[in-house]
Chain A
Amino acid sequence: QVQLQESGPGLVKPSQTLSLTCAVSSVSVSSGGNYWSWIRQPPGEGLEWIGYILYSGSTNYNPSLKSRLTISLDTSQNQFSLKLSSLTAADTAVYYCARSTSVGGWKFDPWGQGTLVTVSS
Chain B
Amino acid sequence: DIVMTQSPDSLAVSLGERATINCKSSQSVLHSSSNRYYLAWYQQKPGQPPKLLISWASTRESWVPDRFSGSGSGTDFTLTISSLQAEDVAVYYCQQYYSPPLTFGGGTKVEIK
A: which residues have CB within 8 A of B? Answer: 37, 46-49, 52, 60, 62-64, 96, 100, 104-114
Contact = CB atoms under 8 A, between A and B. Distances in A.
B36 to A, nearest CB: 8
B85 to A, nearest CB: 22
Contacts of B105: 46
B101 A63 contact: yes
Interface of B: 1, 38, 40, 42, 48-52, 55, 61, 93, 95, 97, 100-107
Contacts of B100: 49, 52, 60, 62, 106
Nearest to A109: B52
A67 B107 CA distance: 27
8 contacts: A47-B50, A47-B93, A47-B107, A49-B103, A63-B101, A105-B38, A107-B38, A107-B97
A104 B55 contact: yes
B97 A100 contact: yes
B102 A49 contact: yes
Nearest to B36: A105
Contacts of B1: 63
A96 B105 CA distance: 17
Nearest to A62: B101
Given A49-B104, A110-B52, A113-B49, 14 more contacts: A37-B102, A46-B104, A47-B50, A47-B104, A47-B107, A49-B100, A49-B101, A52-B100, A60-B100, A63-B1, A96-B49, A105-B38, A107-B40, A111-B50
